[in-house]
Structure 1
């Protein structure tokens, strides 16, 4: 019992000591009431009062301007002239005066074939011509004598007729000899193979000592491709054809060419070919334009970006492309009203030029459209607005930075 009494006394003393040394552990600091933590409202009634932070956004101003209607597509470069060099006569290659990839001009000698046989034939034909010419001289003298005797009634008229026929026959033989010599000289010209056009040589497929034949139907001796000017070929949708034809009635259409990975226009030229029919399989039509390529920036077979202006959007409303969002019902933009509340506005985008969207419905000049902070918005949200000085003027087609239209950026609205 004595021990139990001591234990109870110890517990009581310990409790009194705790209350004396820690009297304010559960009380708020002096001069301050209880702390309240505000939580963001979920937008649903829960029976408890909650406060929500007002989101800050950045807006840009819609503008009205005339925007060129352009079509930017992938095309490829085609040579205007390509010649496959083949032998026009059989012969052995005696000399080669061209190398792989060499630039040549019209008339440059490429190959020399063995021409000894044809030269001998020409000499023989010239000898035959000289013989017939001598016989003609003799026949002319015989004709003169026969005609004189006939006029003096010493000889018959028949002798004169025979002498005249001999003269005419020799004249015919001389004409044949002359024609044969000309044909031989043409054959001789085939022994020297020359470049028919200016251009770049491809792979040389023969060398000295090889026998080449007219009957060979392979890749030829070599191929020459004209490097300037060149032609760009591309296709547009058949739905663009009416606008394209109307634009061509007013003025020649210019095509701008860029190479992949560059924003600079490397060449341009007039649109000079529209195919006579639409490809029924793809629903497209082929267009072509000739470009000078004086600086050698383009290459046959190369893929390029071709941009052609086919009209103008008059008084179109333009906004930064980043303002356009994609929703379940189509494209839209958040428009900031005078009361600093945003409206989810459906927008019709007809074209994008660089970082600019061209619209035809939904927006008007002067509207403030949200370009930053859309993820935290919904229709009717109150915002803190900052208007950015953004140049959303559509660039001209001739500008160096005219590029392939960017895809519409999509953001999911929370």
Structure 2
């Protein structure tokens, strides 16, 4: 007979599998707990942020008003003919620099020369008539003394002499007018400057005060620049201007990258523009190099005053946010920063005046501020680790703006 294999009890197998599964789950849970606990105890604190810093120092700060200005020539003259005639000659080149009194154009003067000859002839005729009247007056005077003629006849002759004398004066005036007309045919420059494009060619008939004229002359050297300053700054400007202190003005190109010329404020307007709340000022520039072109737009910097011995920090250190203007102040240990609210004054793009909130010697962050917050850990970058270093105080002695161009 064949032996049968022993049968396994299914309930026992199922209990064994359940116990084994429970033991595996418990083991996994313990392993996860141990791993989590180990990770929590070994977690590192965030690394310190590398920053560049600078020190607040005392120095001088120029008080500058910036504005957009327009180059306005001292003189812009349209040369018009003062009498009629054919234009026979033009004596200038377009764009040429001319001096006052220099020849510009010629009008045909022959008709005015004829008028002068006629005036001379009339003068000679009236002089002869006067001589005859004076001779008759002398004879009438003798006869009047002898009572040989009526007194009325003698008086009439006296009046006739006076009439002839007046006619001579009229003739002399006519001669002067004719000479003036001849001189006006020779047109000269009334001012010095640069002539523009030619407006009329030789051969054309021109009339008195005919438009557009013969030529336009614009003064180049010297020239002026007009610009506006706000009402709030006017009192400060007037105080210095009325005290007789020359206020220097610098003109820069449109990109503010190059100084074109230096001048002096010489005139202040007499009315405030109610629509803009500004007043117009005018500065004079020698413009020897002709860097300022008429009607060109320039950026103007008016040097009102220089603030002496004020607290300065780099402009990059000043931030704006919910608390207002603030800086990140480095603590004494140089390993953390705190937010310090400050009150700012004038700035020149490089440095900013701090009127409240800091003291000389305080160290502020100028680079790497975008990831900082109150109490953040920092480390100062050295020269080997980055481009930004702990900046030594720059020379903060600001000289007043020079009158000569710096470019």
Please state how far the C-alpha of 1:71 moved relative to its aligned partner.
1.0
Q: Which moved more, 1:196-205 or 1:388-397?
A: 388-397
Unaligned segments of structure 1, at least 5 residues: 1-34, 40-45, 404-414
Cα gap change, 1:50 to 1:262, in 2 (>3 Å) = closer
Q: Which has the higher contact order (CA 8 A, sep 6+)?
A: 2
What is the rounded CA distance, in whole Å, between the counterparts of 2:267 and 2:403 in structure 1? Answer: 25
Paired residue secondary structure (2:133): helix
Q: How does 1:375-414 map to 2 (within 5 A)?
A: 375-386=370-381, 387-391=390-394, 393=396, 395-398=398-401
What is the rounded CA distance, in whole Å, between the counterparts of 1:374 and 1:95 in structure 2? Answer: 72
Q: Do 2:80 and 2:209's aligned partners in 1 also have CA atoms closer than 8 Å?
A: no
Cα gap change, 1:174 to 1:159, in 2 (>3 Å) = same
Q: Do 2:306 and 2:400's aligned partners in 1 also have CA atoms closer than 8 Å?
A: no
What is the rounded CA distance, in whole Å, between the counterparts of 1:103 and 1:214 in structure 2? Answer: 25
2:65 counterpart residue number:
71
Please state how far the C-alpha of 1:314 moved relative to its aligned partner.
4.2
Aligned with 2:160 (options 163, 166, 178): 166
CA-based RMSD: 2.7
Cα gap change, 1:400 to 1:126, in 2 (>3 Å) = closer
2:276 counterpart residue number:
282
Please state how far the C-alpha of 1:196 moved relative to its aligned partner.
0.5
Paired residue secondary structure (2:67): strand
What is the rounded CA distance, in whole Å, between the counterparts of 1:267 and 1:401 in structure 2? Answer: 7
TM-score (norm. length: structure 2): 0.82
Q: How does 1:33-44 map to 2 (within 5 A)?
A: none
Please state how far the C-alpha of 1:215 moved relative to its aligned partner.
5.2
Aligned with 1:213 (options 207, 215, 224): 207
Q: Do 1:354 and 1:395's aligned partners in 2 also have CA atoms closer than 8 Å?
A: no
Does 2:205 correspond to 1:202? no
Q: Deviations over 1:87-113 (max 9, x none)?
A: 111111011111211111111111111
Paired residue secondary structure (1:144): helix
TM-score (norm. length: structure 1): 0.80
What is the rounded CA distance, in whole Å, between the counterparts of 1:328 and 1:87 in structure 2? Answer: 68
Does 2:330 correspond to 1:336? yes
Does 2:348 correspond to 1:353? yes
Q: Deviations over 1:195-216 (max 9, x none)?
A: 1011100111101110111253
Q: How does 1:8-19 map to 2 (within 5 A)?
A: none
Aligned residues: 361
Q: Do 1:75 and 1:232's aligned partners in 2 also have CA atoms closer than 8 Å?
A: yes
1:222 counterpart residue number:
215
Cα gap change, 1:112 to 1:212, in 2 (>3 Å) = same
Please state how far the C-alpha of 1:151 moved relative to its aligned partner.
2.2
What is the rounded CA distance, in whole Å, between the counterparts of 2:404 and 2:256 in structure 1? Answer: 9
Q: Do 2:330 and 2:364's aligned partners in 1 also have CA atoms closer than 8 Å?
A: yes
Paired residue secondary structure (2:137): helix
Q: Which moved more, 1:84-93 or 1:139-148?
A: 139-148
Q: How does 1:24-173 map to 2 (within 5 A)?
A: 49-173=43-167
What is the rounded CA distance, in whole Å, between the counterparts of 1:244 and 1:346 in structure 2? Answer: 30
Paired residue secondary structure (2:139): helix
